[in-house]
């Protein structure tokens, strides 16, 4: 039980990478606060699974681009679960593929607010209650290579998350470690919506491991970064892409 007695917040925890992470952290003994925006069914199911096994968890709807919702999540976590030891900043999204020349200002602002500013808001709020612990951010392979067509805003926001990860690790160490994942093609609803099937098949053919990643793959890495197995790692942005990009 690598996280026994600890409390974790997982944002965007109602589906895909966030959902798998919430279940993985709970399986290792953590109490888990699951934030979701629209995936309430998945979040509630996760809570049911965790509590059925004797764990503690709750799910809470919230828009993390709004400070009031961030504060409500953090306050409830502290009051019901006793503190914060692990933060997984997973909430975010591409929103839509738009080239710069066709991009309205509000699209750029929306993507930045969703991916970067929400990470800032939640992190700042949690640090008021974290004396020792870990922060795990979700960046992206797009932050390394610019992403696919129409992903300039998304790639830029995730690149900023990578830089924030490095800077924050310096600021809050040694008692709090900060790292990030840079996922490539993970089999999730994100790619169901934004990536043509032919692109996914091409990825499988080209990747050295000959498959897409799974949410279990990402959950395993999140757990590693959240627990003491990675005690000498901080400020790292770790690729998890099946060998499609080496950094």
Mean pLDDT of the 88-94 span: 97
CA distance 210 to 205: 6
Q: Which helix (H) or strand (E) holds 205?
A: helix 197-206
Q: CA quadruple 64, 68, 71, 72: dihedral positive or negative? A: negative
121-145 residues labelled b (16+ CB within 10 A) or e (exposed): bbbebbbebbeebbbbbbbbbbbbb
The catalytic residue positions are: 154
Q: What is the third-level CATH fold of 7-185+215-234? A: Rossmann fold (3.40.50)
CB count, 10 Å around CB of 39? 21
pLDDT (tens digit, 9 = 90+) per residue, 96-139?
A: 999 999 999 999 999 999 999 999 999 999 999 999 999 999 99
pLDDT in tens, 165-196: 999 999 999 999 999 999 999 988 666 666 67
Q: Is the pTM of this model over 0.85?
A: yes
pLDDT grade for 240, boundaries at 50, 70 and 90: very high
Q: Structural domain boundaries of the chain?
A: 7-185+215-234
pLDDT band at 23 (very low <50, low <70, confident <90, very high): very high
Residue 233 has pLDDT above 90, yes or no: yes
């Amino acid at each position: 039980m690598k996280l026994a007695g600890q409390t974790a917040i997982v944002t965007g925890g109602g589906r895909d990478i966030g959902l798998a992470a919430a279940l993985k952290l709970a399986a290792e003994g953590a109490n888990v606060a699951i934030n979701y925006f629209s995936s309430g069914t998945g979040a509630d199911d996760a809570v049911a699974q965790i509590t059925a096994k004797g764990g503690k968890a709750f799910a809470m709807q919230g828009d993390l681009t709004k400070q009031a919702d961030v504060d409500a999540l953090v306050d409830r976590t502290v009051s019901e679960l006793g503190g914060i030891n692990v933060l997984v900043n997973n909430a975010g999204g591409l929103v839509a593929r738009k080239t710069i020349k066709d991009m309205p200002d509000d699209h750029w602002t929306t993507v930045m607010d969703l991916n970067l500013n929400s990470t800032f808001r939640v992190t700042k709020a949690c640090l008021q209650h974290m004396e020792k612990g870990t922060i795990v951010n979700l960046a992206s392979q797009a932050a390394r290579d610019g992403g696919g067509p129409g992903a300039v805003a998304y790639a830029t926001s995730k690149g900023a998350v990578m830089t924030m990860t490095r800077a924050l690790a310096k600021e809050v160490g040694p008692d709090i470690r900060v790292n990030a994942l840079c996922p490539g093609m993970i089999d999730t609803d994100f790619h169901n919506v934004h990536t043509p099937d032919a692109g996914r098949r091409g990825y499988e053919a080209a990747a050295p491991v000959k498959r897409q990643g799974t949410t279990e793959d990402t959950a395993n890495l999140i757990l590693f970064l959240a627990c003491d197995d990675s005690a000498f790692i901080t400020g790292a942005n770790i690729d998890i892409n099946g060998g499609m990009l080496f950094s």
